[in-house]
Amino acid sequence: MSVSKKYLKRKPICKVTFRVPAETGRDYKTASVVGDFNNWDHEANRMKKLVKDGSFSIVVDLEKDAEYQFRYLLDGNEWANEIEAEKHITTHFGDSQNSIIVL
């Protein structure tokens, strides 16, 4: 998994690219990035699958100077964390962790 950030100079926005690599993505038909920035709505940020290699990606505009919790949802039923996230936090359920991106 990977995340890249591109800060805009004229707006308080960061264009964040979320990516599920081919090694993981090729085994799944759908992927979404869900988090507190989209009210954990698995339909809000569906990722595009790249036919060439099986990876998934999406660019999401997020306000800078904030932290956001998120996870990937694969095929609507399997959760995955961002291994390269700046932080991880235990969910309020206590049985899993969310990834955190710091902008």
- Digit-coded pLDDT (tens) for 42-68: 999 999 999 889 999 999 999 999 999
What residue numbers bound the domain in which 21 lies? Answer: 2-102
What confidence score (pLDDT) does residue 2 get?
Answer: 87
What confidence score (pLDDT) does residue 78 get?
Answer: 94
**Overall domain count for the chain:** 1
pTM of the full predicted structure? Answer: 0.91
What confidence score (pLDDT) does residue 9 get?
Answer: 93
- List the CATH number of the domain containing 51: 2.60.40.10
What confidence score (pLDDT) does residue 49 get?
Answer: 95
Burial 84-94 (b: 16+ CB within 10 A, else e): ebeeeeeeeee
- Sign of the C-alpha dihedral computed for residues 34, 99, 67 and 20 taken in this order: negative
Residue segments in the chain with a per-residue pLDDT below the cut of 50? none
What confidence score (pLDDT) does residue 61 get?
Answer: 97
